[in-house]
Amino acid sequence: MAGRAHLSGIAVQEISADNFNNARRREQLLTASAPFIVRGLIADWPLVQAGLKSGAAARDYLLEHSQDRKFVVSYGPPENQGAVSYNRDMSVNFVEKKAPLSDIFADIDRSENDPEQPLIYMSSIDIDAFFNGFLDMNRIDLGERKCRAGLWLGMRSRVPIHNDFPDNIACVAVGNRRFTLFPPDQFANLYLGPLDYTPAGRSISMVDLSDPDLIKFPKFKQALENSFCVDLAPGDAIHIPSMWWHSVEGLDKFNAMTNFWWRDTPAYLGTPDGALMHAIYSIRDLPEDEKVIWRDLFNHYIFENSEELVSHIPENGRGVLSKISPTLAQKIRTYLLGVLNR
């Protein structure tokens, strides 16, 4: 099945696997901070080949490589129609359990052909921690990047609009998937939910993408005008750059996807999410005139950072205004822990 793209205001490249596997071309693509689609990138993976036979064959392949430990799995009722989201009272609309992979797959075997499927969904499984030898035969070449590989498994599912801090290549291994992407600057049009209590670890849009209520969420129309939607078949892949908003739907009875995440900045740097949460805690509720002062200080020290900012301070006396090193990063972490524990 060939994938199809529905574009709305965003030009998205579709390239061949041979093009992507050219090292020079791959680096150009991965450093451009733009989404792109690679058709057939992982068509030769053993998992993809097993899935083309049947969902059961794909599950057998995964069981052969799984470790003997319990996996986290989410279960939701059929009336959720695969959505991973909130109930009306803002509780999450699924329950999490831990079980051996064989037991989870037995549940899928029993429910796979139900006219109204329940949600049985496993997200972001750490492949190195839960599988043996899987990445030896199911991998992509991303040059020198140190990636975290995650596996997403389950029945039909709808993961709401969210973003991720790392860059990501999502590889569709079993079943067809639909991706809808929005540029980072569309956050104000997405009607985001809580930052700290989320169904999937990241703040999600409160809009139901499958049936958006444009009376309740009128700015979402502008988000849709700046989005693109694409269906990917087994073997296809998509690059989702850092902070791009995206929704992912598993369209078949059984679906499997592998993600490769990476950051181009050192691992010892802190996360912007932590800085945002700390700013909400310490700055957001200050008087407006004081917030203006702190906004200007953030612009000065963070967003307009330049050599001129510290040129009047001797290098050995710049403290946290120096370029961040592993040693300085640890010093800052220690200071922040002390402040938060007062």
- Token couple for 156: 């039909």
Identify the DSSP state of 86.
B
Please report the domains of the chain, with CATH numbers, ordered by start residue.
Answer: 4-262 (2.60.120.10), 272-340 (no CATH)
pLDDT of amino acid 12 = 85
Segments of the chain scoring below 50 in pLDDT: 1-7
Gap between the Cα atoms of 223 and 297, Å rounded? 31
Is 245 within 8 Å of 187 (Cβ atoms)?
yes
pLDDT of amino acid 7 = 45
Strand partners, 66: 131
pLDDT of amino acid 342 = 85
* pTM of the full structure: 0.93
Gap between the Cα atoms of 104 and 59, Å rounded? 10
pLDDT of amino acid 3 = 38
Three-class DSSP category at 162: strand
pLDDT of amino acid 2 = 37
Q: 99 vs 96, 104, 140, 232, CA distance in Å?
A: 10, 7, 29, 30
For every residue of 209-239, which 3-state class applies, written as one string?
CCCCCCCCCCCHHHHHHCCEEEEECCCCEEE
